[in-house]
Amino acid sequence: MAVELNGYLFPEGRVTVEERLEEVGGQDGRAVVLRGLTAPGATVEAVEVALDAVLAASSEEGLVALSLRAGRRLWVRRTGFTREPSRGGRVGSYLLTLEAEVPWEESVEETSRYWAVTALEDAIPADTAGNTWTLPRVTLTALGALESPGITDGMRTIACGGTVSAGETVVFDGPAGVVTRDGVDVTAYATGDFPRVAPGGGTLAYTAAGGIHQASAEAAWRDRWW
């Protein structure tokens, strides 16, 4: 199992991983403990450099990407680090503890789907390879005047209020919980709930109160796993 943290690749066979779900910041989160040994070094100084590299890959302030499984990542921050170089100067040991406020893993690569809107409820199939639902980011570019255009999964619909003119672009950003119109935040004027992409498949469909129903749309999302 290759483990990578913020671009640092841990030597294979020299690190163990412990994961557990726990409360982080008053909500469900995930704790990760990495116990490992550095690759053999010729001197104490070389071992210290290797331990410094493990520490530098993590951060107490900002979030960095941790990959425990191929094609997936968690966003984590460091909560603790202890180190011990060996007396002989050959290897060093360390214990690195990390926490993720968002407990699920997400795919490194996004899935993208495009479709042309020519009528109400024009839709695309939407599914996920993960084992839990995820929120898409949908970009809708008007080719004609659209009245309160929106996106629905059949159960949840998010709509942008007012008339969107030809050439304007509305972004329904589910992961961020924000709706923008030509880059301006109009979330306060949006109604409804962001649609989801769920295991087992479904659809994402265009909806509107009126207009000529001509637009181009793109949906993008990352699969998620508990």
Return the DSSP state at 187.
G
In angstroms, the CA 138 to CA 169 distance is 10
**Tokens 């530098």 — which residue?**
56
In the chain, what are the domain boundaries?
4-103, 109-225
In DSSP terms, 35 is beta-bridged to: 16, 95
Give per-residue pLDDT as tens, 163-186: 999 999 999 999 999 999 999 999
DSSP letter at 86 equals -
Summarised one tens digit per residue, pLDDT across range 90-102 is: 889 999 999 998 8
Measured CA to CA in angstroms, residue 9 lies from 1, 95, 138 at distances of: 11, 16, 34
Q: What is the rounded CA–CA span in Å between residue 80 and residue 60?
A: 8
Percentage of the chain beyond pLDDT 70 is 97
Domain 4-103 of CATH type 2.40.30.200: yes
Q: How many CB atoms lie within 10 A of CB 70?
A: 9
Is the model's pLDDT at 127 over the cut of 80? yes
Class of the domain covering 109-225 = mainly beta
Q: What is the pLDDT of residues 128-137, one digit of tens each?
A: 999 999 999 9
The three-state secondary structure class of 201 is coil
